[in-house]
């Protein structure tokens, strides 16, 4: 039995901390990954479903998560795709949810060895070590 969402909350917080990104942005990037190439119109349709504004789309372009695949021409729409950074993060999310290990190094793990963590972040890191086979 595949239980992808068992550790979703811990994995989600890990990537939020690692990439300084909000949950709605991660959800939006997960949706867009399956779209491949997309127009702004298609992206905005999903943003409306998420009850958020179109400015999120522009912000993701400005921060490098979404890139222009084809510029607008006279009668054609501009086409977008996820950047390498976004593809890499989404693939890492799926790898970890499928049983892969969360990076244990101090550079790649925002929970490892940082003294300014909140109590709940320390609990999440302990959970990752004990239940997700994280090795130091």
Q: What is the CATH number of the domain that holds 22?
A: 1.10.10.10
pLDDT band at residue 133 using 50, 70 and 90 as cut-offs: low
In a domain, 136, yes or no: no
In a domain, 108, yes or no: yes
pTM of the model: 0.79
As given in the structure block, the two tokens for residue 22 are 């909000």
User: Strand order in 79-82's β-sheet?
Assistant: 38-39, 79-82, 66-70
Give the separation between CA 93 and CA 106, rounded to whole angstroms.
19
In a domain, 65, yes or no: yes
In a domain, 3, yes or no: no
Strands 66-70 and 38-39: unpaired
Q: Looking at per-residue confidence, does 127 or 51 come out higher?
A: 51
The single-letter DSSP state of residue 119 is H
Count the domains in the chain: 1
pLDDT tens digits, residue range 61-85?
999 999 999 888 877 888 999 999 9
Q: Note down the domain range covering 114.
A: 8-131
Tell me, rounded to whole angstroms, the distance of Cα 30 from its chain centroid.
7
Q: Which residues of 37-65 are buried (b: 16+ CB within 10 A; e: fewer)?
A: ebebebbeebbeeeebeeebbeebbeeeb
DSSP 55-84: HHHHHHHHTTSEEEEE--BTTB--EEEE-H
In a domain, 56, yes or no: yes
In a domain, 2, yes or no: no
As given in the structure block, the two tokens for residue 77 are 């729409």
In a domain, 45, yes or no: yes
pLDDT tens digits, residue range 26-58?
999 999 999 899 998 899 888 888 888 888 899
- Average pLDDT across the chain, whole number: 81
Q: Looking at per-residue confidence, does 109 or 13 come out higher?
A: 13
In a domain, 15, yes or no: yes
pLDDT of residue 134: 47
């Amino acid at each position: 039995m595949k239980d992808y969402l068992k550790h979703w909350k811990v994995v989600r917080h890990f990537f939020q901390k690692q990439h300084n990104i909000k949950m709605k942005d991660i959800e939006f990037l997960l949706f867009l990954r399956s779209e491949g190439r997309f127009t702004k119109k298609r992206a905005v349709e999903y943003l409306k479903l998420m009850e958020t504004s179109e400015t999120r789309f522009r912000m993701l372009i400005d921060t490098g998560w979404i890139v222009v695949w084809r510029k607008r021409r006279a009668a054609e729409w501009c086409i977008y795709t996820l950047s390498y950074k976004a593809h890499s993060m989404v693939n890492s999310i799926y790898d970890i949810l499928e049983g892969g290990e969360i990076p244990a190094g101090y550079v790649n793990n925002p929970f490892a060895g940082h003294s300014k963590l909140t109590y709940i972040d320390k609990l999440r890191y302990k959970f990752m070590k004990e239940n997700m086979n994280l090795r130091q």
